[in-house]
Amino acid sequence: MRNVMSRVPRPPRQREEPSEPDEPFRPPTPRPPVEPPDPTTTADGAADTPGNAPGNVPAQASDTAADARAIPSPAPPPGADLQDTPPAPPGSAAADMAAATRPADPPAAPTSAPAGAAPARCAYPGCIRPPAPADGPGRPPAYCDDPAHNRLSAYRRRRELAHRPAGQSTPAPGAARPAPIPRPLAAGRARAEELAGQVQSLAGELTATLDAFARQMALLGDVTAAEAQVEAAEADAAERVAEAVARAVRAEQAARAAGIARAESDAIAAEAVTALEDAERRLVAAEAAVADAVEESAAAVRAATAAAEAVRADADTAVADADAHARAAIDAAERDAAARITEAHHDAETRIAEATATRDQALTELATARRDAERDARQRAELRAERDALREDIRAERAEALRLRQGADADAQRLRADAAADLDRLRAETTAEITRIRAEAAADVDRARAAAAAETERIRAEAEARLDVERRAAAERLAVLGEARAEARTRAERAERQADDLAAELRALRTPGPGGT
């Protein structure tokens, strides 16, 4: 357990729980793309010639927009602000294009509820159940009692909903097309060269920004999520190991109680064996006493018979008197011997009955002690089996924690490789797109004068909107990941405190008291 708990990071004590958001996340409304000017009319007021087909440049522009929507834009790094590009000076070509292609402002987001007010329903997207009741003072919960509805899962769901319609945005039906700007024909070539230079500058800035953006995202994001998953898995494994250790402690206590009961049963069995041996000794003594009494009565009979025969041999002359006296003495001796024999038999029977009762009681106690010993043996076997099962559970939990850590490391490496591959692909596609735009601008300056400017501004507006959305999403994701990491560390700290408490209880149980042996 100590090895598993040592891998759990130990943050400072008394960390606050991450607060819930005031209101559910609402994905930003995508801006409608600006359509290029009408290709049927050029900027200098002249109609397109057959050589300048109106469908060439718009078709290429639509392909470029489709490629740009197909490429997933990674989130910008924390602190990176792509809005720091200095504005174009008034009267320049960039200012004119921005004024002509600037989309309408998005609708204002609904006003959020005041801070601290309880939301009307769960903040998880799509859940209509009311939030869980508050347990005490402070910010009320923003999610229902479903354990799957929390801030991290809600953030992932909102991200899925925000990215699902990202590639399906269509221009608004009522969006007005910008009117073509009349330009003198004499300044067309100079204007085209100026626009081409601005396009190259903007493309270079966009490439550099995307490279820095991809490098930062390769270092952040997925690695943080993997660390959060590893910390959550380690905290879960530590909790399971603590529970298994608690079960092992309870099993050891039960085994100790069973050992005490076994010692008591052994003592009772020893006392029963001693009582049985005492009863057997008393029975042998009683049988010896009965044999002595019978021998004494036989000796008395033999002595009386010898005395009578001597009297008859010595006093033949006084047969009548001696015979009467001898018969009286014989009768008295026989009565005395019979009384002694009866008393000895009665005493022997009493002692035999007492010894038999004592033996039966000892046998009963011995059988009870044997049954208790067998029951204790079964309990010890069950406790050993439970202890072995708990050890297997602990080994399985440790193996599972190791497997989760290895899987998280593999996922982190795979995500880094995927991010690097996406970065290379994005750089190659961006380079190819810039090369194609430069070739088209150099090949046909007159056709690219209006369409390339509008397309460049539209791409820039979409890129800025998308990068702004991704930047906010990345900031929110990093905030959620930081809160998730803090929550995981708090749980790990709580699990560590529980493990320390369990270890203290185990030491207290293992340490004998003042009256213990």
**Cβ density class 53-84: b for 16+ within 10 Å, e for less:** ebeebbebbeebeeebbeeebbbbbeebebee
pLDDT at 307: 67
Contacts of 214 (CB under 8 A, 6+ apart): 74, 419, 422, 423, 426, 427
Query: What are the pLDDT digits (tens) for 463-496?
Result: 888 888 888 888 888 888 888 888 888 888 888 8
**CA gyration radius, the chain:** 52
For range 301-324, the mean pLDDT: 65
Question: Could you give the dihedral angle defined by the CA atoms of residues 498, 501, 505 and 506, in that order, rounded to the nearest 10 degrees?
Answer: 70
Please tell me the CATH code under which domain 247-388 is placed.
1.10.287
pLDDT at 124: 92
Query: What are the pLDDT digits (tens) for 228-254?
Result: 666 777 777 777 777 777 777 777 787
**Cβ density class 382-399: b for 16+ within 10 Å, e for less:** ebeebbeebeebbeebbe
**88-96 long-range contacts, Cβ below 8 Å, gap at least 24?**
93/191, 93/194, 93/195, 93/198, 93/453, 94/198, 96/181
Least confident of 147-156, 298-307, 308-317, 416-425: 308-317
pLDDT at 122: 92
pLDDT at 227: 65
List the one residue out of 144, 141, 163, 189 whose CA is nearest residue 74. 163
For range 283-295, the mean pLDDT: 73
Is the model's pLDDT at 19 over the cut of 50?
no
Helices (H), 120-221: 151-163, 188-219
Query: What are the pLDDT digits (tens) for 60-82?
Result: 444 444 444 444 444 444 444 44
Burial class (CB in 10 A: 0-12, 13-18, 19+), 365: middle
| Model-wide pTM > 0.75 | no
Contacts of 172 (CB under 8 A, 6+ apart): 32
Structural domain spans, the chain: 118-161, 247-388
Is the model's pLDDT at 55 over the cut of 70?
no
Least confident of 98-102, 229-233, 401-405, 440-444: 98-102
Pairwise CA distance, residues 357 & 455, whole Å: 115
- Local confidence band at 130 (pLDDT 50, 70, 90 cut-offs): very high
- Local confidence band at 16 (pLDDT 50, 70, 90 cut-offs): very low
pLDDT at 144: 92
- Cα angle at 430 between 429 and 436, to 5 degrees? 90
For range 385-392, the mean pLDDT: 82
Contacts of 208 (CB under 8 A, 6+ apart): none
Percent over 70 (pLDDT), the chain: 59
Query: What are the pLDDT digits (tens) for 119-128?
Result: 578 999 999 9
For range 284-308, the mean pLDDT: 71
For range 345-357, the mean pLDDT: 77
Query: What are the pLDDT digits (tens) for 93-129?
Result: 444 444 444 444 444 444 444 444 545 789 999 999 9
pLDDT at 182: 46
Query: What are the pLDDT digits (tens) for 142-191?
Result: 899 898 999 888 888 888 888 775 444 444 434 444 444 445 555 667 77
pLDDT at 515: 55
List the one residue out of 262, 191, 238 whose CA is nearest residue 453. 191
Is the model's pLDDT at 47 over the cut of 60?
no
Percent over 90 (pLDDT), the chain: 2
pLDDT at 459: 84
- Local confidence band at 269 (pLDDT 50, 70, 90 cut-offs): low
* Higher pLDDT pick, 306 / 88: 306
- Local confidence band at 513 (pLDDT 50, 70, 90 cut-offs): low
Answer for the pair 96, 43: CB distance below 8 angstroms, yes or no. no
For range 264-288, the mean pLDDT: 72
Is the model's pLDDT at 141 over the cut of 80?
yes
pLDDT at 127: 92
Distance, C-alpha 79 to centroid of its chain: 33
Is the model's pLDDT at 369 over the cut of 60?
yes
For range 289-307, the mean pLDDT: 71
pLDDT at 437: 76
* Higher pLDDT pick, 284 / 26: 284
Which residue is it, tokens 């939301």? Answer: 119
pLDDT at 228: 66
List the one residue out of 334, 331, 329 whose CA is nearest residue 321. 329
Pairwise CA distance, residues 36 & 57, whole Å: 10
List the one residue out of 436, 453, 514 whose CA is nearest residue 63. 436
**Mean of the per-residue pLDDT values of the chain:** 69
